[in-house]
Structure formats: C-alpha cells, structure tokens
Amino acid sequence: MKTIAPLDSILCDPLSWMHPRRLPLPPALGGASSRSIINGMIIRSHSWSVEYPPPCASRTADLFIRHWRRLPQVALLIAVQRHRASLARQGRLLQLPPWARQFSALAIVDSYDDGNAPVEIPGTLIAWGKRELLAFGDPLPLAIRQRISLLFSPELDRETGCEPKPVPSQLLIKLAFQHAERYSTTPDAADFRRRIDQAPAVGATTRGA
C-alpha cells in the first residue's frame, strides 16, 4: 500500500485534516471516490494552490508541515505564553490543561497586558494563537498559508477588531512546536477537538441557571 506523505495530505486531502465543523459529511459520502470528488471541490472553491513547495523551503515551513495536525494545540500554547500574566491575575491558569499550563510557566516572550479583560478559555486563546500562526506569512509557502484556517473551528473566523496584533516570534513558535511534540500528555488532534468543541464558543457569555 502506498504511504501518503504529510504534504500530499495537506495539499490534496483536506477532508482528512480540516475541522469537522467545516464540512460535516454523511456516512454515504465516506467512500474513496466521493471523498476524492469533494476534496477537489474544496480546493477549487477556495482557489487553493496545489503547487508543492521546494524541499526545505524554510525551517518554519518544515515545522508547519511536519506538525500540521497539531497546529491548533500550538496556537493555544502560543497564546498561553503571550497572555500568561492576565491568565495568572484572573486565576485562570488552573483552567488550562496541564500540558498548556506547563508551557505558561516559561518566560519566552513579554506577556501582553490585557488589564482585567476576561480571557475565555480556550476559545479566545486559540483564536489569538491562530492569528499569530497566520502572521508568519512569507516564510510559509502559499499553499500552506491558504489552508491553515480550516484546521480551526469556523467560529474562530470571526474577528471583533479588538484582537492583539501579534509580531511573530520565531523562538516562541519553535518552542511551542517542540513542546507539543515532546510531551505525551499533549492530546492528539481528535481528542483536542473533542475538548475544544465542548467548550463555550468565542464570544459566548455565561448565564445563570
């Protein structure tokens, strides 16, 4: 059986990795021929490039490709590090999973001062981390940049205009990738999505019973 390389999957099989809320499929369309047709429709509808980047295009590109399915976890780690002071002040660090809380204990970059603005966990944090991943821009091949958003829930596509404007840190993202890879307690993509999808959506408010 031919082994599908990660880059092949990223470029040509979005159904294998995109967030399940993006395009829920009935079981009747789960066959190989149906998936091939739908994958082609997704690629064309988004006008995605299918050009393969040159080998070793950049170290950053290599990280994104090798750890593609962990980008949502990496986004959370990045945001936890950026906003660790606010999370600590609001007593929200204990709401983080242990693998993310451990990363927040490091002082890799300066922490943003969010004042007393509440930070929703995990939705807001993941949305902020996603923005920083997208902000890398040029070091990433076009075909990779175009596809990042679909790894995340569609609810995270909304922007309020109040989001921090990140200046990407090569060191931060490198260490976030290493942390997600090193610690076995970091959930796989499916488990992570189950947890996130059960959490309140970005912008949701809590009401009394």
Residue 127 lies in a domain: yes
Cβ-contact 31, 70 below 8 angstroms? no
Residue 159 lies in a domain: yes
DSSP string covering 148-177: GGGGS-GGGG---S-S------HHHHHHHH
Q: Do you find a cis peptide bond into 122, omega within 30 degrees of 0?
A: yes
Residue 37 lies in a domain: no
CA 47 from centre of chain: 21
Residue 103 lies in a domain: yes
How many folded domains does the chain comprise? 1
Show pLDDT as tens, one digit a residue, over the chain (209 residues): 344 568 999 999 999 999 988 888 888 787 889 999 999 999 999 999 999 888 766 788 888 998 998 899 999 999 999 988 888 888 888 888 888 999 999 999 988 766 666 667 777 888 889 988 988 776 789 999 999 999 998 888 876 555 566 678 889 999 999 998 887 555 554 455 555 555 544 444 333 33
Which ranges of 17-149 does DSSP label H, i.e. alpha helix? 32-45, 59-66, 71-82, 84-89, 98-104, 123-134, 142-147
Amino acid at 16: S
The pair of three-digit structure tokens given for residue 86, joined into one six-digit string: 């606010």
Range of the domain at 62: 52-197
Residue 186 lies in a domain: yes
Give the other-Cβ count within 10 Å of 115's Cβ: 7
Residue 29 lies in a domain: no
Model's pTM, two decimal places? 0.81
Residue 32 lies in a domain: no
Residue 176 lies in a domain: yes
- Determine which helix (DSSP H) or strand (DSSP E) holds 174, and give its type and residue range: helix 170-182
What is the rounded CA–CA span in Å between residue 64 and residue 33? 28
